Amino acid sequence: MNKLTKISMTALSTALIAGSVQAMDYSISGGASIAYTSVNTSSDSNPWSMGDSITFSTSGDLDNGMTVSVSLEMDDHGSDAIDDKSIKIDTGNGVVGFATSVGGIGGIGTIANKVPNAMTPVFEATDATDYGQADQKMSSAGQWGYKHTIGGIGISIGYTPGGNTNGGADTGWSVSYADLMDGLEVGFGQQDDGTTSESETAYIKYVTGGITVAYQKSKVDYESTATSDEEAVHYGVSLAVNDDLSVSVGRQDVEIGTNASEEENTGVGGSYTMGSVKVGLAFNKAANVGGSAGVDYEATIGSITFSF
């Protein structure tokens, strides 16, 4: 506890916030998983793997009305060190923060994939490259972010120093609106890393009862003429059958440069939750991978996740 308190106090002084902490809350959460991923192109590989994660969190209310929170995650990535870290300051007029976790705090990465899935996106697991994803690059040092919602309009900004290959910055932003009608949300975002690519994405999502439907269109324009630009259309639907069981189906078509064939990603998935245990199963297929006609991959993905 003393160690977490010191970390939290350091975060406060670094952010130059004037005020003393009135109350501190601490929590520790964790999880473990056993996963199975079988791809038809790697039949000789071991399909089994495991994951583990422990997250330490603390937050404090300041006497000036602000709230500061710190999160540190230790998992099985890298050398089992604490890698995903974040400091967030809720000013009352938005949340500003700094994070090293994938996706960051703000920017286009927060809306990169709004299509629902019961287990995993349709473009995952079949091959190493997820074409057509308008996302914000992260550096190992971390990303600054800002998020605020006012009148149903959500604004998100991300700034990643050293986010591109030449050490320059990667900037991104997104805006969303959820008050057009009950259950309907729309959004748009852009990203520019200055030297490698520019990207944008737009989506529409509708939720009614246990059904969620979404449609998203993204494109990535590369500065180098040697790298093919990408345009993707992604859509899907998920159904919460009850409080425990969910199923989904989706499709993504990606146009890559001037290739005659589009990459076609399709998938179905389901998950079932029993208290702190969640079981998931998905079947994804990629046709014309990378825009190459007749190159097809199939993946079977399963997992058992324990939360505590």
**C-alpha distances out from residue 108 to 138, 198, 216, Å:** 12, 11, 13
Give the tokens for residue 106.
């703000």
Closest CA to 288 of 260, 251, 267, 268: 260
Helix (H, G, I), strand (E, B) or coil at 109: helix
At residue 187, the 3 state secondary structure works out as: strand
Query: Among positive and negative, which fits the CA dihedral 239, 241, 246, 248?
Result: negative
State both tokens at 62.
């300041």
Sign of the CA dihedral running 222, 113, 86, 172:
positive
Q: Position of tokens 């287990």?
A: 119
Rounded Cα–Cα distance for residues 174 and 109 (Å): 9
Would you give per-residue pLDDT tens digits along the chain (308 residues)?
444 334 333 444 444 444 555 567 899 999 999 999 999 987 778 999 999 999 999 999 988 889 999 999 888 655 556 778 899 999 999 999 998 876 568 899 889 999 999 999 999 999 989 999 998 766 667 889 999 999 889 999 999 887 666 667 889 999 999 988 999 999 999 999 878 889 999 999 999 999 999 999 999 999 888 889 999 999 999 999 999 999 999 999 999 999 999 999 999 999 999 999 999 999 999 999 999 999 999 999 999 999 98
CA 176 distance to own-chain centroid: 16
